[in-house]
Amino acid sequence: MNQSNSLKTQTLQVGGMDCGSCAKTIEASLQQLSGVMSASVSFATGRVRVSYDSHLLSEAEIKNRIIVLGYTVDVAPAKTLQVQISGMDCGSCAKTIEVGLQQITGVSEAAVSFTTGRSQISYDPQQVSETTIYQRIQALGYTVEQSLEGSISHHGHSCDHDHDHDHAGEQGSRGAGEQDNGEVEEKLLQTQNTIVTNWNFWITNRRGQSVILAGIGLVLGLLAQYLALPIWIARAFYGIGIVVAGYPIARAGLFELRLRRADMNLLMTISVIGAVILGDWFEAALVVFLFSLGTTLQVFTFGRTRNAIRNLMDLTPSTATVKRNHQEVTVAVDSVRVGEILTIRPGQRVALDGVVVSGMSAIDQSPITGESIPEDKAPGDIVFAGTLNQTGFLEVKVTHTARDTTVAKIIHLVEEAQSSRAPTQQWVDKFAEIYTPIVIVSAIAIALIPPLLFAQPINVWLYRALVLLVIACPCALVISTPVSIVSAIGAATWHGVLFKGGYALEKAGHLTSLAFDKTGTLTQGEPVVQKIYDLDGVNSNFVLSIAASLEQQSEHPLAKAIVATAKAQALELKTIENFTAYPGKGVAAQVDGNLYLVGNRRLFADFGVTLSTAESLLTEIESLGQTTVLVGNSHKLLGVIALADGLRLEAAEAVRLLKRLGMRDVIMLTGDRTPVAKQIAQQLEITDYRAELLPEDKLQAIQQLRRSGIVGMVGDGINDAPALATADISFAVGGIDIALETADVVLVGSDLRRLAYAVNLSRRTVSVIQQNVIFSLVTKGLFLLLGTLGFVGLAIAVLADTGTSLLVTANGMRLFRAKGERGR
């Protein structure tokens, strides 16, 4: 059992304490509970801070103990602070910050994600200030870049120290908002190539400067040895390199020692000091140089990966042009209120989500939906912040403030997803916590046992022990999974697919079956005219024109479909007189003095119009699952309009793509009638369909499928919530607001073909993770063996460790290039 994962800290508000002795009573009583690590009670604030093992004790039991003592208790109001932290080299750095923050009185919880560089801290503002939290992070050797509210300078802090690194690689500018997603992605893909030649990074960045100075010291030391100068001169040059590049390493290592933790910085510090004691100054300097070079490259590269999604925010303009008092004014986008009117000219980006109220244009929505083809917009259409207006002038009514735009929600979702731990990563973290102590103990044993028991040379075995200490930190293994997850989620976002975490990404890679809800998922969710049947030689256009003329004022879905079809065919809508609606039956009106009827059988029966000659046709149409609308006059039936829920245009191709990927089962679940389901299934070449299902029936169908594999459910999140919740992984299409709440994976642009992209990307991600983990384990095992046998020196061990870390990072970043089945 891993106690570090189960250790919780909770701050409670206690009422009823009369004096300081009450606080002592509560404190002593809580400390008697099995599982309580520590308990501190403040009479002045009425707060109780308890650290406990959640495997042995629950929060409810702690509260009950306080209540039994005669006091009231509630969870103390906590404030949450989110900050961006830079300077982390690997996952152990994140753990160091977490432990360091949790030791602050008043901090109830701290979660730090190495993959995103974000930290979420819950704290009691009456016990600790934001300033103290920032100072602790800085004292641990890291940089606080910005809070969720903006730059840290807004709070009066500007942290700059040894863990600074190149922000050109991590920060975008508003000018980046003019780039399309292809340009942004290309920049990300060029990261590995640009780091070596980015002289600005090496010259102006403190990390880069220390690497250069360490390299110069190493070269000068070698030159002094080659020229046979006095040994102290070479050692002086080596010493300069060791001190310059080794100081931040040693500083971080000492902090780790204070926290009773052993990370790479501490192990490297011990190894370098040991090499100097053994008189091997050259190797000590080489180790420091190689380690500094490797971690610098890793921080820069991972920083680029980490900030891929932040380029989305750069697409949103910082200002907006708003109509106020009949004038156009440019204001900060944060000051624009819902309901105000934006003006957007060709070539400008949309500043906020809204609805077009005037004008027509083509909008490039690729940053949001992944669609490469611009979409035409007209009054009534929705536009998203960050998209590019290409051709016309638009006036847009704002529907969401800057904090609530679709792009803001996407960024928040993706950052949360990148922070979550995939199942493989959880396993790796547990393995690493066991691996490092075992190797350290082995190193101590190697250093002591041969010299003490077998009279072996202490220098030889001490050196081998130092080599093992270098190999003890599993940096490459720890980052092997998160770098792949971050890269894949970033790539998916640019293609209109949002994964809500590493779990969803990995699970989608193991899918064996995919079930679709029909209505609104495979179909458009709205009736569409399928065919117009004319009778007695009447022209079908005349039938459609009469029906649309009578239905043009109706809001009924069938009426709207008929009118839309007539307008699409540019048919004339005639002027009507004496309009009468018959609820549940249809409508009647006069056109050019003649009475016409549009409705169902009951309407025509009321007017005495016989349908005997058309009964076989009506039965045939309805057997196909289509709805009939009858059109006639007061004497006879003139035609029949057949309507049905239309298929999505891309649905058939989406199913074919999934089958091409080897998806074992593609199933359709629907509450619709069997004839309707059969027809849809045949059109989509789906052999397994289940009709006339209630929501609980869909749930049972998913449970049955799960007995034989990993099952995904695709729906709109409205009427299929139980089935979506029951599936191993759920996919949502439709509105972003609904989808974000209901599914593990969201198809932002509602293009079903992206399902194949999502599954394919997930499979590639699982494969890359497996490659990274296996490569890291094999490399570590090999060098442990070689180091123990004395075939590997300190420098080679460091080079192997940092080299492996860089290789797994580069391999994970290949997922940025992931394309879908359609090459998108």
Q: What pLDDT is recorded for position 166?
A: 39
pLDDT of residue 521: 87
* Each residue's pLDDT tens digit, 248-281: 888 877 877 777 777 777 778 888 888 888 888 9
Q: What percentage of the chain has pLDDT greater than the value 90?
A: 33
Please determine, for residue 598, whether its predicted confidence score (pLDDT) is greater than 90: yes
What CATH number has the domain bearing residue 364? 2.70.150.10
Three-state SS for 16?
Answer: coil
Distance (Å, whole) CA 414 – CA 406? 12
Residues paired with residue 139 on neighbouring β-strands, in sequence order = none
Q: 733: which strand partners?
A: 747
Q: Show the tokens assigned to 524.
A: 């458009």
597 and 540 together in one domain: yes
Give domain status of residue 693, yes or no.
no
The residue that leads in pLDDT, 314 or 578, is 578
Are 738 and 718 in contact, with CB atoms under 8 Å apart?
yes
Q: Are residues 69 and 103 in the same domain?
A: no
Looking from the CA of 1 toward its CB, the CA atoms found within 13 Å total 7
What does the mean pLDDT of the chain come to?
81
Residues 71 and 90 placed together within one structural domain of the fold: no
Domain that holds residue 634: 526-646
Question: Sheet containing 118-123: which strands, arranged edge to edge?
Answer: 107-113, 118-123, 79-86, 143-147, 150-151
Residues 32 and 144 in one domain: no
User: Mind listing the pLDDT tens digit for each residue in 410-467?
Assistant: 776 666 665 666 778 778 777 877 887 888 888 899 999 999 998 889 999 999 998 8
Q: What's the whole-number mean pLDDT along residues 40-58?
A: 77
37 in a domain, yes or no?
yes
**416-430, 565-579, 709-723 — which one is most confidently predicted on average?**
565-579
Which pLDDT does position 706 carry in this prediction? 93
Note whether 467 and 799 are within 8 A (CB): no
pLDDT digits (tens, 9 = 90+) for 455-495: 889 999 999 998 888 888 777 787 788 888 888 888 888 88
- For residues 572 and 372, the model is more confident at 572
Same domain? 628 vs 588: yes
Tell me the torsion sign for CA atoms 147, 162, 477, 9.
negative
| 131 and 47 within one domain | no
Burial of 232 (0-12, 13-18, 19+ CB in 10 A): exposed
User: In this structure, what DSSP letter does residue 392 have?
Assistant: S
Residue-wise pLDDT for 311-361, tens only, equals: 656 677 889 999 999 899 999 998 999 999 999 999 899 999 999 999 999
pLDDT in tens, 109-119: 788 877 667 78
Of 60, 75, 90, the residue that ends a domain is 75
Q: Quick one: residue 203, left, alpha or beta (phi over 0 = left, psi -120 to 50 = alpha)?
A: alpha
What would the pLDDT profile of 603-624 be if each residue is shown by its tens digit?
Answer: 999 999 999 889 999 989 888 8
Query: Which residues face 333 on adjacent strands?
Result: none
Considering only residues 642 and 494, tell me which one the structure prediction assigns the higher pLDDT.
642
Residue 435 lies in a domain: no
**Of the segments 207-211, 408-412, 768-772, which one has the largest average pLDDT value?**
768-772
Q: Give the active site residues.
A: 517
Structural domains in the chain (count): 4
Select from 43, 58, 75 the last residue of a domain: 75
Assessment of whether the complete model's pTM goes beyond 0.85: no
Q: How confident is the model at residue 51 (pLDDT cuts 50, 70, 90)?
A: confident
Q: Given this model, what pLDDT does residue 355 score?
A: 95
Two structure tokens written together for 622: 């309805």
- pLDDT score for 45: 62
Of the candidate ranges 42-46, 282-286, 623-627, the one whose mean pLDDT is the lowest: 42-46
Residues 57, 10 within the same domain: yes
pLDDT at 690: 94
pLDDT of residue 53: 80
Can you give the CATH number for the domain in which 67 is found?
Answer: 3.30.70.100
Radius of gyration of the chain (CA): 34
Is 563 inside any structural domain?
yes
- 107 pLDDT band, cuts 50/70/90, is confident
Looking at the fold, whether 396 and 347 belong to one and the same domain comes out as yes
SS3 13: strand
pLDDT at 46 > cutoff 50: yes
- Band of residue 161 on the pLDDT scale cut at 50, 70, 90: very low
User: Within a domain: residue 251?
Assistant: no
Using left for φ > 0, alpha for ψ between -120 and 50, and beta otherwise, residue 643 falls in beta
Domain boundary among 75, 96, 126: 75
Contact 313, 301 (CB under 8 A): no
The predicted pLDDT at position 663 comes to: 94
CB atoms within 10 A of CB 799: 19
Q: Which tens digit of pLDDT belongs to each residue from 729-752?
A: 989 886 555 555 667 898 887 789
pLDDT in tens, 66-81: 888 878 887 656 677 8
In a domain, 747, yes or no: no
E-state strands within 45-187: 47-53, 72-75, 79-86, 107-113, 118-123, 143-147, 150-151
Residues 66 and 122 placed together within one structural domain of the fold: no
Residue 8 pLDDT grade (very low, low, confident, very high; cuts 50, 70, 90): confident
Query: Does position 558 have pLDDT exceeding 80, yes or no?
Result: yes
pLDDT score for 183: 41
Q: Write phi, then psi, for 322 (nearest 5 degrees).
A: -125, 145
Residue 393, domain member (yes or no): yes
pLDDT tens digits for 619-639? 898 888 788 999 999 889 999
* Beta carbons within 10 angstroms of residue 490's beta carbon: 26
pLDDT at position 729: 92
Looking at the structure, tell me whether residues 92 and 151 fall in a common domain: yes
Q: Which is it for strands 513-517 and 665-669: parallel, antiparallel or unpaired?
A: parallel
Same domain? For 41 and 90 the reply is no
Confidence of residue 193 (pLDDT cuts 50, 70, 90): very low
Q: Which residue carries 């002094």 as its tokens?
A: 224
Q: Token match 């003890």: residue?
A: 472
| Lowest-pLDDT range of 389-403, 540-554, 720-734 | 720-734
The pLDDT confidence band at residue 219, using thresholds 50, 70 and 90, is very high
Question: Any idea what the CATH number is for the domain that residue 582 is in?
Answer: 3.40.1110.10
What average pLDDT score do residues 82-90 get?
77
CA–CA dist 654, 636 (Å, integer): 44
Q: Dihedral angle at the C-alpha atoms of 99, 101, 102, 103, nearest 10 degrees?
A: 90
- The answer to whether 104 touches 122, Cβ cutoff 8 Å, is no
190 within domain boundaries: no
Of 6-10, 99-103, 276-280, 415-419, where does mean pLDDT reach its minimum?
A: 415-419
Same domain, 618 and 535: yes
Residue 2 has pLDDT above 50, yes or no: no
- Euclidean distance between CA atoms 702 and 280, whole angstroms: 65
